[in-house]
Amino acid sequence: MAKPISIEVWNPSGKYRVVSTKSMPGTRWIRLLADNDCRLEICTETKTILSVDDILALIGDRCDGVIGQLTEEWGEVLFSALKRAGGTAFSNMAVGYNNVDVEAANRNGIAVGNTPGVLTETTAELAASLSLAAARRIVEADQFMRAGLYDGWLPHLFVGNLLKGQTVGVIGAGRIGSAYARMMIEGFKMNLIYYDLYQSTRLEKFVTAYGQFLKANGEQPVTWKRAATMEDVLREADVISLHPVLDKTTYHLINPERLAIMKKEAVLVNASRGPVIDEVALVEHLKANPMFRVGLDVFEDEPYMKPGLADMKNAVVVPHIASASKWTREGMATLAALNVLGKIKGYPVWGNPNLVEPFLKEDATPPAACPSIVNAKQLGLPSSKL
């Protein structure tokens, strides 16, 4: 017999049974479900990642919907179990859904929600933080101080890279990549080179306008360039931030050959997906080039790092916290809950999944819609006219 899963229950007499595989930040998402006749069961197990068997036990014999996490593998076993339990909705508390077999969800008639629209600025801020921390060797210096090694100022002590007037390179100039670029350009007056399959006209106009503003005030204007190839970005940029989607074409996008063409003192930042970097090759490159620095929020075999990476002083590593601002994580929880609630209630799907502000107003009733269902078209779900 399977070990019982510990849970916390809200609104025990609710008509609809909704399960959350993790406790999530904030309380608004709980109130929204409870106030709409949902019995909410929140898993309180201490283990970081639940197994498929754990989630099967949570689903049980009757379950209308599940809020899950990107660390869980949602495929045929779980979606068929959810269907048998009478469920119709699952939502990741994440914008990405690489952990979800959407085809399996389609076969079982399960709507798959995600939470875009609240992560853009938060993720861009973390990428900018990693850029600065790596360039100015902040983590190294912090460890040095805590170890009691500082005994006076020295000319060569933790000399890093100046960002002002240098070139920032962005690979993938979508919402997050463009937000990051604006922060680095406006914050440090960096020039921009970017590579994307699609022209980022809005970003280009921003840089042009900001350059004109600087020139009008007697300062050196910033410039932008859309690179013809990704290799052009890697060769020319002093700081490179990766913001591509993860698919077959971007797996190990950064490999030994591309690392070799980057500047010896470049800074490489990744807050997108771990497997876009060949982590073994990166470790070797860091060893061979001590002035090359990297800032990583994600890892190829998360939660593990490749051997040697943790020992590299020229690497700043953080545990997948790009979305970890209070406002963003509470917003993600709210959107995930509303995805599940909306499908249970038969609401249509919101027309623009990146326009989420109406769902996040603390004291207002959210629209009667599912904020973001990635397989809405495949399931033939109606679209909101709001």
Considering Cα of 169, then 174, then 177, then 181, what sign does the dihedral take?
A: positive
Q: What strands, in cross-sheet order, belong to the sheet with 267-270?
A: 224-226, 191-195, 167-171, 239-242, 267-270, 293-296, 315-317
Q: Which of 273, 285, 293, 329 is catalytic?
A: 273
Calculate the CA 25 to chain-centre distance: 16
- Residue 273 catalytic? yes
Helix residue ranges, H only, the chain? 28-34, 52-59, 76-84, 102-107, 120-135, 138-146, 175-188, 201-216, 230-236, 256-260, 279-288, 326-345, 357-360, 376-379
CB atoms inside a 10 Å sphere around CB 108: 18
- Residue 137 catalytic? no
The structure tokens 């990744």 sit at 270
Q: Which amino acid does the sequence have at 130?
A: L
- Residue 320 catalytic? yes
Are the CB atoms for 19 and 59 separated by under 8 Å?
yes
Q: What is the dihedral of CA 258, 260, 265, 268, to 10 degrees?
A: 20
Dihedrals phi, psi of 277, to nearest 5 degrees? -115, 135
Calculate the CA 61 to chain-centre distance: 33
Cα gap 59→120, rounded to integer Å? 32
Single out the residue of 26, 65, 45, 1 nearest to residue 362, CA to CA.
Answer: 26
Look up residue 229 and give its two tokens: 């190839």
Considering Cα of 237, then 243, then 246, then 248, what sign does the dihedral take?
A: negative
Are the CB atoms for 220 and 149 separated by under 8 Å?
no
Single out the residue of 81, 86, 36, 44 nearest to residue 62, CA to CA.
Answer: 86
Cα gap 313→150, rounded to integer Å? 17
Q: What is the dihedral of CA 121, 127, 131, 134, to 10 degrees?
A: 140
Query: Which sequence positions are flagged as catalytic?
Result: 273, 302, 320
